[in-house]
Structure 1
Amino acid sequence: MTGAAVIIGASGGIGAALEAALIEEATFEKVYGFARSRSGAQHLDLLDETSIAAAAAHVATGPAPTLVIVATGLLHAGERGPEKAMRELDPAWLAETYAINAIGPALVAKHFLPIMPKTGRAVFASLSARVGSISDNKLGGWHGYRASKAALNMLMRGIAIEEKRRNDRTIVVTLHPGTVDTALSKPFQGNVQASRLFTPDRAALQLLDTIEELKAPDSGKLFDFEGKEVPF
């Protein structure tokens, strides 16, 4: 791929690893990394659409981005973790979860897809999760996280349909990275087999390999780190 690559959430475990891998591979003319914790032109807060628009405007001054990855997610914060039962449902926490996991990535698509090429292959990917699959939900619980990721999958499906009218070779997908050894998954790693707990570097390479193999008909779908489609 040519043009620019953009990583949203580049200060997180997976995002930082993706940014580093893309810089090392040197297959793009420029690699942009954005995060809420970064300042200046690299600042982007998913809760602030103005900052998302400013980041897109900054990228638009250089080579057109042919790869945009939203590598963000909210599962827990402080003492607040995913709900184990419906009695723990809290409207403020649900709203925050939706804002980060679904609305934020959709707003990134709103501002970044229009600056991506109108012809030729391009990929817009957002990190989702297998637990966001409605058909795969056999355990219940984690209501806000599951529902927000399901919402993300649906938003990206709809955006993929719309984007196809602008460029029928743009691929809009959601990706399940597996369980990665990051702050997001740290409290929940106890029952994960060592062979299924990935370092951020390994996860980044697996995701980039999956992205490389995507074809236009894959747009609007959810894929795991092995490139296998996960049904909604």
Structure 2
Amino acid sequence: MTPPAALVIGANGGIGRALVGELLPHYQVVAISRTAIDLEHPRLQCLEGGSTEEDIEQLLQQLAHLQGRITRVVICIGVLHQSEPHPMMPEKRLEDVNIQQLMHSAHVNTILPALWVAKLLPLAKGSQPCVMAVLSARVGSIGDNRLGGWYSYRSSKAALNMFLKTAAIEYSRRANNVKLLAFHPGTTDTDLSKPFQANVPRDKLFTPAFVARQLIGIMDGLSADGELSYLDWQGQPIVW
């Protein structure tokens, strides 16, 4: 019997790799990353690319045979800081805000995930229930923002949430087998959080494997309802 298909986008990051490992026993997994993935498994297909709209369209052409078979999608694309090619750290003050960082954060955290969600509709549409999760962040919540700072990251994640909320409405009309989820993984021990782990209590710094299992469990409990859910790693709702 052919197993259901799962798609992990951004599969070479900490959470992405952990998700691939957790999904493989039960799914035929397609792992997509901008860089080569050094994983092998009979049920695993690894593809490179996805940095531009043209890349995404070409990758989806290679996945046309999975139309109607995809039951899990996780989009793990995101950036918080970087050293190359342009140094970038979360802004603490308004004086730190600059156009280059605002645009880069928007491109990686909002635009690329949005393009994937938009262009996946024909593949995800079908008779089988499909849950599509996108890594968001609690700091993307406008109602929960009490500390300020992190201007470009907060703004890009808030914009992502709005896009997903809007997309859920259209998916409910055109692919009502699909459930959309904006997921906050908590502080996870990955490269993205490395510079910010010093003050995180040990029991609040999660391994990628733990987060992957939590997310899969949450996705398994969701069903298509025409709404976007905005949940944390415990499955608890986050205010918009």
TM over 0.5: yes
Question: How many residues are treated as equivalent by the alignment?
Answer: 227
Whole-Å separation in 2 of the counterparts to 1:110 and 1:218: 16
> How far is 1:27 from its partner?
2.1
Verify the 8 A CA contact 1:66 1:116 in the aligned structure 2. yes
1:84-123 correspondence runs (5 A): 84-123=92-131
Question: 2:12 aligns to what SS in structure 1?
Answer: coil
For residues 66 and 50 of structure 2, what CA distance do their matches in structure 1 show? 21
1:75–1:97 CA contact under 8 A, matched in 2: yes
User: Which residue of structure 1 lines up, in the alignment, with residue 26 of structure 2?
Assistant: 27
Where do 1:47-66 residues align within 5 Å?
48-62=52-66, 64-66=69-71
Work out whether residues 171 and 226 of structure 2, in 8 Å CA contact, stay in contact via their aligned partners in 1: no
- Tell whether 2:16 aligns with 1:15: yes
Give the secondary structure class of the aligned counterpart of 2:100. helix
- The secondary structure found in structure 1 opposite 2:225 is helix
Give the aligned partner of residue 74 of structure 1.
79
Q: RMSD over aligned Cα, in angstroms?
A: 1.7
Pairing 1:152-171 to 2, within 5 Å after superposition: 152-171=160-179
Residue 225 of structure 2: aligned partner: 217
What residue in structure 1 maps to residue 139 of structure 2?
A: 131
Give the superposition deviation at 1:80: 1.4
Matched residue, 1:43: 48
Larger proportion of helix: 1
Q: 1:193 aligns with which of 201, 223, 226?
A: 201
- Tell me, which stretches of 5 or more residues in structure 1 are unaligned? none
Give the TM-score normalised by structure 1.
0.93
User: 5+ residue gaps in structure 2?
Assistant: 38-44
Q: CA deviation at 1:95?
A: 0.5
| Separation in 2, partners of 1:155, 1:206 | 24
Paired residue for 2:91, among 83, 86, 92?
83
Structure 1 residue 133 displacement after superposition: 0.2
CA–CA separation in structure 1 for the residues paired with 2:92 and 2:176: 42
User: Normalising to structure 2: TM-score of the pair?
Assistant: 0.90
TM-aligned CA deviation for residue 54 of structure 1: 1.4
- Counterpart residue identity of residue 27, structure 1: H
